[in-house]
Amino acid sequence: MHTDLITIAESKRELESSSGRVKIHIRCRKCGEVFILRGIRDVKGHVETGFRRCLCDNDKEFDVQVVE
Ligand SMILES: [Zn+2]
């Protein structure tokens, strides 16, 4: 039982280091609002932040920058 717990903790740590956690800087091109979010970069280099749209309803035009 005790050994199982250690194994789970170790494999979880491995997952976190392989999928890069990054900071994302998003600026709305319509109203200029800036959002700083945490994202997770997958193996293909795509960054998922969960960010969907700005306060001004814009959900397409953003300047996105990864600030690692
Ligand atoms: Zn906006």
Q: How far is the CA of 53 from the centre of ligand 1 (A)?
A: 8
The answer to whether position 10 is within a domain reads no
Query: Is position 60 within any domain?
Result: yes
Does residue 3 sit within a domain? Answer: no
For the entire predicted model, the pTM comes to: 0.65
Q: Is 14 within a domain?
A: no
CA distance linking residue 10 with residue 3, whole number of Å: 11
Angle at 45 between CA 39 and CA 46, to 5 degrees: 55
Rounded to the nearest whole angstrom, what is the distance from the C-alpha of residue 32 to the centroid of ligand 1?
6
24-64 pLDDT, tens digit per residue, is 999 999 999 999 999 998 888 888 889 999 999 999 999 99
- Residue 47: per-residue pLDDT: 86
Alpha-carbon distances of 51 from 9, 12, 13, 25, 41, rounded to whole Å: 29, 25, 25, 11, 14
C-alpha 33 – ligand 1 centre gap (Å): 5
Say how many Å lie between the CA of residue 6 and the centre of ligand 1: 46
Q: Which residues surround ligand 1, an ion (CB under 5 A)?
A: 28, 30-31, 33, 54, 56, 58
- Residue 20 — very low, low, confident or very high, per pLDDT cuts 50/70/90? confident
Domain of residue 43 covers: 19-66
Q: Is residue 28 assigned to a domain?
A: yes
Residue 49 lies in a domain: yes
Looking at the domain assignment, is residue 31 inside a domain?
yes
Q: Tokens 């960010």 correspond to what residue?
A: 51
Question: Which letter, b or e, does each residue of 50-60 get, where b requires 16 or more Cβ atoms within 10 Å of its Cβ?
Answer: eeeebeeeeee
Determine the pLDDT at residue 60. Answer: 95
pLDDT at 13 over 70: no
Q: How many domains is the chain built from?
A: 1
